[in-house]
Structure 1
Amino acid sequence: METITPTALAEASGISLPYASQIISGKRTPARSLAIHILRTTGWRHGSIAKLTDEQISTLESVDPWVPRASPEAA
């Protein structure tokens, strides 16, 4: 498995640095849609989607795409 830093993960995927660190360390499991978004933006494949084929990932992505939370400034 490729490695990625929390900073690189946070910047590429738009999640917070602490959350990125928890995902990488295995303390938190991202939603499947976020795990796919992370794969698409960084190339790093989280263990929760490690056994899925590219076709399965594409299908899941089409029915359940990643939708980031609205920022507080947008509210």
Structure 2
Amino acid sequence: MYILKKNEKFNIDNETITFREIRDKLTEEFTELVKAIVNYSYDKTLKNLKAVVREAFDVIQVCILILRKCHTISKDLDYPD
């Protein structure tokens, strides 16, 4: 997945975001995913299944942001590889 420098959907600047902000965003997206799964478990429609997929991708995108942040930080450490 492509990570933008600024993510308008999440309303964050991926260049300056802190781990605390990422944690909060991950919690928010995870909660939305759980709600989508619960909704699907009660009403197994294509609409609700698509909502699960969308929310899962949102969680994945935040996880990729975490990896990108770690990579960026590692460049300033003794062992960047």
TM above 0.5, yes or no, is no
Structure 1 or 2, whichever has the larger Rg, is 2
Which TM-score applies when normalising by structure 1? 0.30
Q: TM-score, normalised by structure 2?
A: 0.28
Higher strand share: 2
